[in-house]
Amino acid sequence: MIWLSKRRTIFFMLIPTMIVYLNYIIMPVLISFYYSLTEYTGIGTAKFIGLDNFSRLWHDSLFWISLKNTLIVLVVSLLLLLPGAFLLALMLNVKVKAGNAVKALNFAPSIVAPILVGLIWVFILDPQMGLINVILTKLGLGQFALSWIGGKTLTPYSIGIVFTWQMIGFLATIFLAGLKMIPRDVYESSSMDGANKIQQMFRITIPMMNETVKINVVLIITGVFKIFETVLLLLTNGGPNHLSEVMVTYMYNITFTSGEYGYGMAIATVTFLLTLIFSLIYMTLSRKSIEE
């Protein structure tokens, strides 16, 4: 099997994967970049107009609203999902009876189709028929029955909570794998030196989970910037007056509802670039903090 270690052999074995990656990942991105520079309705010939679509984006108030809502979802997800998934992983790392069943149940929300996630949470968050508002009303707390979705203010926060519920099991599994990679000898040695559980957490566990944290943060960033089906199925539909749009739903409405394919691809391009920029900024800052 020595031939498997040769670079030339490895290169040829990667060719099928690279072809698929180029055809279904790289090429669609490049095509989107091209159409973002055109005026195109999806039918006929695209008319090249340069950066006009991006200039229009700069003056589009609805685009800035969708960007603001997306950033709110991102902040809510980072604040809730990252520490929540880590704490859940710590609990799953403790040996208990039926531990494997608990881990499977924990992972279940992440394998539910986003469409079903949206439908489930509609029956919880809907202002008229949602479980939360019904319970509040029955308890005589009707003044706290708010427009959790479809309103002007709370929708992006609710989307962040739904995204957290959907992804927490998946990220906790990644954290759990990272915890399993930490040698037990390190904890035993620190215990012999007098370190307690809190000191072990902040001096051993968290520092040694740095790479795992990086992976999860990047997954949260990319997940938030591409969130679509859940938002659409929450029946917000961008309302009222597109004030609850996120970037991908706004791109979808512009492209397939308004028929402005070129402008929609400009929004998609900016979404892709923002995802890349946020991920690179985080990776750079985390690398500098380690070096210091």
Contact predicate 73/160, CB 8 Å: yes
Q: Tell whether the model's pLDDT for residue 226 goes beyond 80.
A: yes
How far is 6 from 1, CA to CA, in rounded Å? 10
Q: Tell whether the model's pLDDT for residue 192 goes beyond 90.
A: no
Q: Tell whether the model's pLDDT for residue 67 goes beyond 60.
A: yes
Mean pLDDT score of the chain: 86
User: What are the tens digits of pLDDT across the range 175-188?
Assistant: 998 988 888 888 88
Q: If you average pLDDT over residues 156-164, what whole number do you get?
A: 92
Q: Tell whether the model's pLDDT for residue 264 goes beyond 80.
A: yes
| Cis peptide bond N-terminal to 240, omega within 30 | yes
Burial class (CB in 10 A: 0-12, 13-18, 19+), 214: middle
Q: Which of 240, 56, 70 is nearest to 147 (CA)?
A: 240
Q: Which of 227, 201, 184, 188 is nearest to 89 (CA)?
A: 201
User: What are the tens digits of pLDDT across the range 9-56?
Assistant: 777 788 888 999 999 888 988 999 999 999 998 888 889 999 999 999
In this prediction, residue 75 carries a pLDDT of: 95
pTM, rounded to two decimals: 0.88
